[in-house]
Every structure is written in C-alpha cells, then in structure tokens.
Homo-oligomer: A and B are copies of this chain.
Amino acid sequence: MTDRDSSRTLPHPATEEIRLEGVLHALSDPVRLSIVRDLAASADDLSCSHFDLPVTKSTTTHHFRVLRESGVVRQAYRGTTKLNALREEDLNTLFPGLLASILTSAQAEAARLGAGA
C-alpha cells in the first residue's frame, strides 16, 4: 500500500479498539470467512474484485466493511481499487493464536464437508 490519498482513507479501529466479539461476529459469516481464508493464503494484498463471491456487489461491499470495521482486515485505495490485507499482526497481538485456530477449524470443516477450498 504505497499510493496514499488522504481524502480517500477508510476508517479503521485502532488495535486497542478491536473487540473479540466483533472479530467472532465478522468471522461467523461463511462469505466473510472465505474472504479471510483467501487473504490468509495469499502473499499479496487482494482487491475486492479478486474474490469470486456468490453474492451481489453491494453485499460484497457490506462484507468487506464488516471485516474492516471489526479490525479483521485493513483496506486501502490504490487508484480506484480497494486493496485488502488481513490484520494478522494486530489480531495476534490482542488474541495470540486465535486467528490461526479459526483458520485451521475452517479448513477442517471444509475438508470434512467436502466443500473444498
């Protein structure tokens, strides 16, 4: 995230404002959980349009906002594209091991249900 346009920054909670309940709520939706799994598996930040989600564009935007406002992802504009990154370091500072545990559980569940990915 290099190109900065201060007029287009999006609001994020500071690390100390992140709440466990908000993180769990954000991850309790299958679409949002799949976004987080993709981000965790990617070496790069990913644009919203990268994700092929079974929901409308406005619902996609909603899901990303929930993830951002709960402190799970950081979103920044690069040109007209919103790039998304997991806030792994912040989450691990507050809740050591939690994100890894949820991701492992999600993978186990997907394998168990034969849902792949």
A residues neighboring B (CB under 8 Å): 16, 19-22, 24-25, 27-30, 33, 94-98, 101-102, 104-106, 108-109, 112
Contacts and interface: CB of A to CB of B under 8 A. Distances in A.
Main secondary structure of the interface of A (DSSP, over half): helix
Contacts of A27: 24
Given A21-B28, A25-B28, A98 B95 contact: no
Number of copies: 2
Contacts of A98: 101-102, 104-105
A76 B106 CA distance: 29
Given A20-B105, A28-B28, A95-B104, 13 more contacts: A20-B102, A20-B106, A20-B109, A24-B24, A24-B27, A24-B102, A94-B108, A94-B109, A95-B108, A95-B109, A96-B108, A97-B104, A101-B101
